[in-house]
Amino acid sequence: MRIFLAKRVFTLVLTLLVATLVVFVVLEILPGDPAAVMLGINAETDTLNALREELGLNRPVWVRYTHWVGDLITGNLGISYTYDVPVSELILDRITVSFPLALLAMTLSTLIAIPLGVMAASNHNKPMDFLVMSFSQIGIAIPNFWFAMLLTLLFSVTLRLLPAGGFAGWDAGIVPVLKSFLLPTIALALPQAAILARVTRSALLEVLQEDFIRTARAKGVTNQGILWKHALRNALIPVVTIMGLQFSFLLAGTIIIENVFYLPGIGRLIFQAISQRDLIVVKNLVILLSAAVIMINFMVDLLYAFIDPRLKGGGDV
């Protein structure tokens, strides 16, 4: 187990490093002159030179890269060009909106999807299965931002029960916060749940065909016992894989949904930064979001070993 862990941690660090390299190359090297990108084509030479000096663009590339990585490790993300405040401050402020939203959506989606998937698989080819699969088909097909618009149309425009957007702020108390989170969470969670329910169902159906399930049946284990104790654990590998995959969709979803509901989270910040050509903010946000996905994948890898000890050796049995 220790070797398995050491190997995974090593590759995690390596992946994170290469990711910083990719972001650095795409956002600092490919544009040629980041200062020109930030100031636009009509910028004066003096202003350009001043910004180049300020951003340290006159230093050799590898010095800029190592400095940036060093700063990332120490949490010094530089000063936003447009807001003139530390980028880390901006991010810390916005993450109090994005993180709870993503967490709520992931929880809600799992709570809906796993029971639905189990129900569908245990009632294979019966009306319940058909119902769950129909929900799944519709859920997968609906774009989350359109679903969000429909929810707003119903609950905000027509019934006037919930706000159409905006964020009351954590100081306003938990009720207004939950009210502003409710529609975005549902809009994010339901399409995810639709996919996850489908995967859970098909993984379970696959496992239920296996010999060991027949053996368990022959030994007199009840249907429920087989389903929850024997089948579900073995079906969890594809389910956890998809949940890991879904995290990045959730991340993307959060960025879109924040824009639909005008929530002041990371997603809004990144879009404001793009329209203001604030490459410093864009660069640091992109690497942080990518690092989040890498970390989640790392945790999924560890989870595999926990769910299926046979995989500890790296997949060879």
Partner 1 sequence: MFRTLAEVFRHGLKNRSFVIGGTISLLFFLIAFLSYFWTPYPVEDINIAEKLLKPSAKYLLGTDHFGRDILSMLIQGARNSVIVAFVAIGIGIGCGVPLGLMAAAKKGWLDELIMRFNDLTFAFPSLISAIMITAILGPGSVNSIIAIGIFNVPVFARVARGAALSIWKREFILAARSAGKGLFKISIEHILPNIASMLIVQATIQFALGILAEAGLSYLGLGTQPPMPSWGKMLNEAQTFMHFAPQLAIYPGVAIALTVMGLNLFGDGLRDVLDPKLRRRR
Burial class (CB in 10 A: 0-12, 13-18, 19+), 161: exposed
**Which residues have a Cβ under 8 Å from the Cβ of 190 and sit 6 or more positions away?**
109, 112, 139, 142, 144, 147
Q: From the list 64, 162, 297, 308, which residue makes contact with partner 1 (rule: CB under 8 A)?
A: 297
- Minimum distance from residue 89 beta carbon to partner 1 (Å): 21
Inter-CA distances, 44 with 31, 39, 41, 47, Å: 18, 9, 9, 5
Structure tokens at 237: 């590998």
- Minimum distance from residue 11 beta carbon to partner 1 (Å): 5
Torsion of CA 14, 16, 20, 25, to 10 degrees: 60
Residue 315 in contact with partner 1, rule: CB under 8 A: yes
Bridge partners of 190?
none
Residue 290 in contact with partner 1, rule: CB under 8 A: yes
**Which residues have a Cβ under 8 Å from the Cβ of 287 and sit 6 or more positions away?**
19, 20, 23, 72
Binding to partner 1, residues 21-50 (CB under 8 A):
22-23, 26-27, 30-31, 37
- Minimum distance from residue 60 beta carbon to partner 1 (Å): 21
Q: Which residue do the tokens 């799992």 mark?
A: 110
Interface mask toward partner 1 for 121-160; x: CB under 8 A: ----x-----------xx-xxxxxxx--xx-xx---x---
Binding to partner 1, residues 220-279 (CB under 8 A):
237-238, 241, 245, 248-249, 251-252, 255-256, 259-260, 270-271, 274, 277, 279
What DSSP line would sit under 9-23, residue for residue? HHHHHHHHHHHHHHH
Binding site for partner 1 (CB under 8 A): 11, 14-15, 18-19, 22-23, 26-27, 30-31, 37, 125, 137-138, 140-146, 149-150, 152-153, 157, 195, 202, 205, 209, 237-238, 241, 245, 248-249, 251-252, 255-256, 259-260, 270-271, 274, 277, 279, 282, 286, 289-291, 293-294, 297, 314-317
